[in-house]
Amino acid sequence: MEMNDPVGSVLSTKGRDVWSVAPHEPVYDAVALMAEKEIGALPVLAGRRLVGLISERDYARKIILMGRSSKETAVEEIMMSPPVTVGPSDPVTHCMQLMTELRVRHLPVVDGEELLGIVSIGDLVNWTIGRHEETIQHLHEYIAGGY
How do residues 1-13 score in pLDDT, each as one tens digit? 445 889 999 998 8
Q: Residues of the chain with pLDDT > 70: what percent?
A: 93
- Structure confidence at residue 34 (pLDDT): 96
Query: How far is the CA of 80 from the CAs of 2, 7, 10, 108, in angstroms?
Result: 31, 21, 23, 12
CA distance 135 to 54: 36
50-113-19-131 Cα dihedral, nearest 10 degrees: -120
- How much is the average pLDDT of 46-67? 92
Distance in Å from the first CA to the final CA of the chain: 19
- How much is the average pLDDT of 109-127? 92
Do the beta carbons of residue 125 and residue 44 sit within 8 Å? Answer: no
- How much is the average pLDDT of 54-63? 93
- Condensed to tens digits (0 to 9), the pLDDT of residues 66-117 reads 889 999 999 999 999 999 999 999 999 999 999 999 999 999 999 988 999 9
- Structure confidence at residue 147 (pLDDT): 54
